[in-house]
Amino acid sequence: MRRPIDTEALRRVMCAALASDAAVCSLAQLGREAAAFASLDPAVLRRRTLIGGATLYGPTSPAPTAPALDALVRRAEALDVAQILVPGVRRSDDTGPLRAAGFVPVVADTECVLRLTGDVEDVLRRRVGDDRFRELRGHHHALSQEVGWERIPLSELDKSPWARDAFVELHRRHAQRHGDLPNPYNAAALDALAQGELADRTDMFVRRRKGTVVQVGLTTVSHNGRGVYCLTQAIDHDDPVARGGLHEATLYQLYLDARDAGLDWIHLGRGDEEGNRRLGADLFVPLDHWLRAEGLTAGEGETAPVLSRFATPPVASVPVPGPARFRHVPRFDTVDLSSNTNPFLGAGGQYPHLDTAELARTYLTTIAGLPGHEGVGALSTDHLLFTSGAVDGVMLLLAALASPGERVCVTPPTFPLYTHFARVLRLPVVEAPLRGDDLSELDVEGILAADPRVTILCDPNNPVGTRLDRAQVLDLVTRARGLVVIDEAYVEFSENASYAGLIDQHDNLIVLRTLSKAWGLAGARCGIALAQPGLVEALRRVQVPFGFTDASQQSVRDRLTNSGPALAAIESIRAERDRMAAALAGHPAVDRVFPSETNFLLVRLHKHERVMEQLRDAGIVVADTGHVVPASCRISIGDRRANDALLEALSFVL
């Protein structure tokens, strides 16, 4: 919770639970939180500690300011308490005052949030996939037939003494089952919460089966009115229903209630990230406990990525622009009056989410399981930047990493926008044409002799469709003084390996990917730049904020999470490609079909102009590539009906 008044209300609840006027206890008494301190000296675990804030109850509170810390230290001295703990501080907060006051960070659990960006069923399907979604919905439906659902405003709890008693009893059993841990929700704590500032925003939910309470919990609406915190849940594990997915079913019901109430998010608490992903969470905020104790010394604080040596001087002198600087600072539970938007016209009036780390993790996890992507699993989300299509990635990297007058090398025949963007940015272009019958061999020595600032390779090649010689590519990356950019827009159609897994080994390598081709999301305009974090940081300083819309993010998440149809379509395209290659190779109008590891075929024609005219007359559009590869055209692989229409049109040429 982000307001001092709310934090103070929870502090009073903690004092009531401890039967003390001050929130003082040993670290060993902090229940599940004590595990974070297990590596410390046992004496530290046993020593009396003043708890600053009240985030042991789930929601986090802001990092204290210097004056607040001074007051906390004075209070500890007055109580004769040697240690102070400020628990569960977001790593994105300003923790400078904590460090200056002698506090040391101890890694804590991550807080997990589910953002409701549409219909609950659509949201969950995108987040967890079709199979898992059906499982969650099935649990909810089955248990709803057997277990009731009630909500009681905490301010009216005195009208339902049975619910109060059940809450206290189930939480007592919960603490007992976990080794007699201290119970933060005993009767005194519940009464303090019901009489405090949060009572009007807090509900108790109760699930009963045949009159017997099998689950209780608390939810509190955030002070900005846009979301809800799940403070606690306790289940009667002696009841067989409780062992049948009751926790998941209850969260599903909370999602439905939140959406019906027009809320935007649900705070699921802290804990297992992977488990909460399976429940739909898509925002994960890392936390630290900050402890001041004798003998503990603070280490170095977190530092920003070291900017790449390839960043141009102007880029090196400016920060990431505007609000993108705060992309890792969660704002779901704040009152945001910083954006100058219209608050009266719905979600479309809000800027897109900037923190796409979880979506980046989903992308890396998905492609890491594809053939030829060994090593991708070792990349972090700091190695990835989403762009507005791969072509936007080209523009960004040329602007961020090359200064006017520095050379850009391209390898014709290749994608023409590389040259276009270079010239727009006043970068001289040198050409090192591809060699060999299949146009798959690099002139490595010619490229090195030109000593370009940036070399852009299209692999698989567009418009040819072949893969470059891998040994030559690796030789170039190793020996080049400048950057080597590999555009892998079509790599999913290839049976040979990607270069993405080599990113962490070369500080001059950038791999560009897209979801426009194999993943079928051309309309979402989602490109991917993979590079070492210092290069990604340079690109981010040039990128316009908010270019990756929420709608596009939702489409990408849905496609990656439910990747089966896309992967099946890739296999269908490969099969049609091979069928079309064989059919065209035997056609009298065709001189040659180039080998292809893409979703298109480059075809050299006997009577180029006549064939192109015949296809136009038949209402069939192909790419005329005769200006880059003489007498050729590039034919995209369509569905079987479209492909047969092309073959039929060709039959009338001769």
Question: For position 298, what pLDDT does the model report?
Answer: 67
Query: At residue 516, what are phi and psi to the nearest 5 degrees?
Result: -80, -25
From the centroid of its chain, how far is CA 543? Answer: 18
Number of residues that make up the chain: 654
Cα 447 from Cα 450, distance rounded (Å):
5
Contacts of 634 by beta carbon, 8 Å cutoff, 6+ apart: 462, 463, 465, 600, 601, 602, 603, 622, 623, 625
Task: Give the model's pLDDT for residue 629.
Answer: 96
Among 631, 626, 629, 621, which residue's Cα sits nearest to residue 591?
A: 631
The helix or strand, by DSSP H or E, that contains position 346, with its residue range, turns out to be: none
Q: Do 230 and 268 meet the contact criterion of CB atoms below 8 Å apart?
A: yes
Residue 320 CA to residue 403 CA, distance in Å, equals: 19
pTM, full prediction:
0.92
| CA–CA separation, 187 and 194 (whole Å) | 11
DSSP string, 521-559: -GGG--EEEE--HHHHHHHHHHSPTT-S-HHHHHHHHHH
Confidence (pLDDT) at 25: 87
Q: What is the secondary structure of 50-71 as a DSSP string? A: EEPS-GGGSS--PPPPHHHHHH
Domains of the chain (ranges; CATH) run 4-109+286-292 (no CATH), 112-282 (3.40.630.30), 351-562 (3.40.640.10), 566-650 (3.90.1150.10)
> Which tokens go with 408?
């850009």
Q: What pLDDT sits at residue 123?
A: 92
Q: How far is CA 174 from CA 177, 232, 234, 267, in A?
A: 5, 11, 7, 21
Q: What span, in angstroms and rounded, lies between the C-alpha atoms of 75 and 84?
A: 10
| DSSP 8-class letter at 345 | S
Helix (H, G, I), strand (E, B) or coil at 510: strand
In this prediction, residue 301 carries a pLDDT of: 54
pLDDT at 466: 97
User: What does the pLDDT read at residue 180?
Assistant: 66
For the record, the structure tokens of 348 come out as 């479309």
Using CA atoms, how far apart are residues 504 and 369, in angstroms rounded to an integer?
A: 18
Decide the pairing of beta strands 408-410 and 429-431: parallel
In this predicted structure, what is the pLDDT of residue 11? 87
Residue 381, number of CB atoms within 10 A of its CB: 18
- Nearest partner of 539 among 303, 284, 285, 324, judged by Cα: 324
Rounded to 10 degrees, the C-alpha dihedral 235/239/244/248 comes to: -20
Q: Which of 480, 365, 422 is nearest to 129 (CA)?
A: 365
Q: Residues in the chain with pLDDT < 50?
A: none
CA distances from 43 to 293, 449, 597 (A): 10, 66, 64
Determine phi and psi for 39, rounding to 5 degrees: -85, -5
**Residue 164's pLDDT is what?**
95
Distance, C-alpha 417 to centroid of its chain: 29
CA distances from 459 to 257, 511, 527, 572, 607 (A): 49, 10, 16, 21, 29
CB 383 within 8 Å of CB 504: yes
